[in-house]
């Protein structure tokens, strides 16, 4: 079990994934993979919405498109939280001295790093597109070469394997033969490029030779 034989990697995790009932509705998400990973990692848990002063429970926030800009707003109060979220995010990410990866809450307008709905305005209506949350997007921009995933995508076995593989490579401070290909492959999976994913360059040797552990609970 490689993850237990070496110093523990440090992972930033959205606090509502099993650490604190800090969701807008006072709830918490239970995730089997994160629960299994916990003993093997050092955790930095964070809830950006609570950090910028929103309470628990709180009215939901959403991303709206305003001109060329995406804003984080709270429709019920009319508050524009964009600046405070961006301020907190850059301060928080700048203080991270040693971090090996991130597990973020999917679809959250704050933590999600992909597949987050955005709207034309605060009024009720259908989403007009998908983007990254303000916190999650900044994580991807600053730490995109690390293991960055969300708990929803990590239910997929192959995504989970790549997450662990990249985490392992960075954690051990080495550059394994497969490191560059692994990073490229994780981006291909992240951005759903089927054509590139099928290229043999990204499978230079049999999968069973990869130093991976399947710590996930279910194969999806
Ligand atoms: S998704 Fe992020 S901002 Fe929302 S409750 Fe979870 S940790 Fe907090």
pLDDT tens per residue, range 184-206: 666 666 666 666 555 554 443 33
Provide DSSP, 76-93: TTTEE-HHHHHHHHHHHH
Q: What pLDDT does residue 189 have?
A: 61
- Ligand 1 pocket check for 22: Cβ under 6 Å: yes
* CA 46 to ligand 1: nearest atom: 7
Q: What pLDDT does residue 204 have?
A: 39
Q: What pLDDT does residue 88 have?
A: 98
Answer whether residue 218 is part of any domain: no
Distance 190 CA to ligand 1 centre (A): 21
Whole-angstrom Cα distance, residue 95 to residue 105?
21
Q: pTM of the entire structure?
A: 0.79
Residues spanned by the domain of 173: 10-210
Answer whether residue 4 is part of any domain: no
* CA 108 to ligand 1: nearest atom: 1
pLDDT tens-digit map of 143-174: 998 999 999 999 998 899 889 888 777 666 64
In eight-state DSSP terms, residue 196 is H
Q: Are 22 and 56 in contact (CB under 8 A)?
A: yes
More confident residue, 124 or 220: 124
**Residue 104 clears pLDDT 60, i.e. is over it:** yes
Residue 120 neighbours by CB under 8 Å, 6+ apart: 64, 65, 128
* CA 110 to ligand 1: nearest atom: 3
Question: Residue 42 corresponds to which tokens in the numbers above?
Answer: 């050092």
Q: Please give the share of the chain, as a percent, with pLDDT higher than 90.
A: 62
- Ligand 1 pocket check for 58: Cβ under 6 Å: no
**Residue 213 clears pLDDT 50, i.e. is over it:** no
Helix axes 157-171, 179-190, angle to 10 degrees: 140
Band (pLDDT 50/70/90 cuts) for residue 7 is confident
Answer whether residue 56 is part of any domain: yes
Distance 119 CA to ligand 1 centre (A): 19
H or E element that contains 137: helix 134-143
- Ligand 1 pocket check for 105: Cβ under 6 Å: yes
Q: What pLDDT does residue 188 have?
A: 65
Answer whether residue 2 is part of any domain: no
Lowest mean pLDDT among 33-42, 120-129, 211-220: 211-220
pLDDT tens-digit map of 32-88: 999 999 988 899 999 999 999 999 999 999 999 988 899 999 999 999 999 999 999
Q: What pLDDT does residue 208 have?
A: 34
If one counts the domains in the chain, the total is 1
- Ligand 1 pocket check for 15: Cβ under 6 Å: yes
Distance 5 CA to ligand 1 centre (A): 31
**Residue 14 clears pLDDT 80, i.e. is over it:** yes
Residue ID of nearest Cα to ligand 1 atom 4: 23
* CA 49 to ligand 1: nearest atom: 3
**Residue 215 clears pLDDT 50, i.e. is over it:** no
Distance 16 CA to ligand 1 centre (A): 6
Answer whether residue 59 is part of any domain: yes
Answer whether residue 220 is part of any domain: no
Q: What pLDDT does residue 140 have?
A: 96
Average pLDDT of every residue of the chain: 84
- Ligand 1 pocket check for 106: Cβ under 6 Å: no
3-class DSSP state of 72? strand
> Checking phi first, is residue 31 left (phi over 0); if not, alpha (psi -120 to 50) or beta?
beta
Answer whether residue 5 is part of any domain: no
Residue ID of nearest Cα to ligand 1 atom 8: 47
Question: Residue 77 corresponds to which tokens in the numbers above?
Answer: 């109060």
Question: Residue 187 corresponds to which tokens in the numbers above?
Answer: 């981006």
The pLDDT of 103-115, averaged and rounded, is 97
């Amino acid at each position: 079990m490689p993850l237990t034989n070496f110093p523990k990697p440090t992972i930033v995790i959205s606090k509502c994934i099993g650490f604190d009932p800090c969701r807008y509705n006072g709830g918490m998400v239970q995730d089997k993979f994160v629960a299994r990973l916990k003993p093997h990692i050092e955790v930095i848990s964070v809830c950006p919405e609570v950090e910028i002063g929103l309470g628990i429970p709180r009215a939901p926030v959403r991303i709206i498109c305003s001109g060329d800009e995406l804003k984080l707003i709270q429709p019920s109060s009319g508050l524009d939280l964009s600046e405070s979220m961006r301020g907190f995010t850059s301060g928080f990410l700048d203080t991270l001295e040693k971090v090996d990866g991130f597990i973020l809450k999917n679809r959250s307008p704050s933590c999600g790093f992909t597949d987050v709905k955005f709207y034309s305005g605060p009024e009720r209506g259908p989403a007009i597109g998908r983007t990254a949350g303000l916190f999650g997007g900044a994580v991807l921009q600053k730490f995109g070469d690390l293991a960055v995933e969300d708990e929803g995508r990590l239910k997929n076995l192959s995504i989970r394997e790549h997450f662990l593989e990249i985490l392992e490579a960075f954690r051990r401070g080495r550059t394994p033969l497969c490191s560059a290909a692994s990073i490229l492959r994780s981006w291909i999976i992240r951005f759903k490029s089927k054509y590139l994913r099928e290229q043999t360059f990204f499978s230079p040797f049999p999968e069973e030779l990869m130093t991976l552990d399947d710590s996930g609970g279910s194969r999806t």
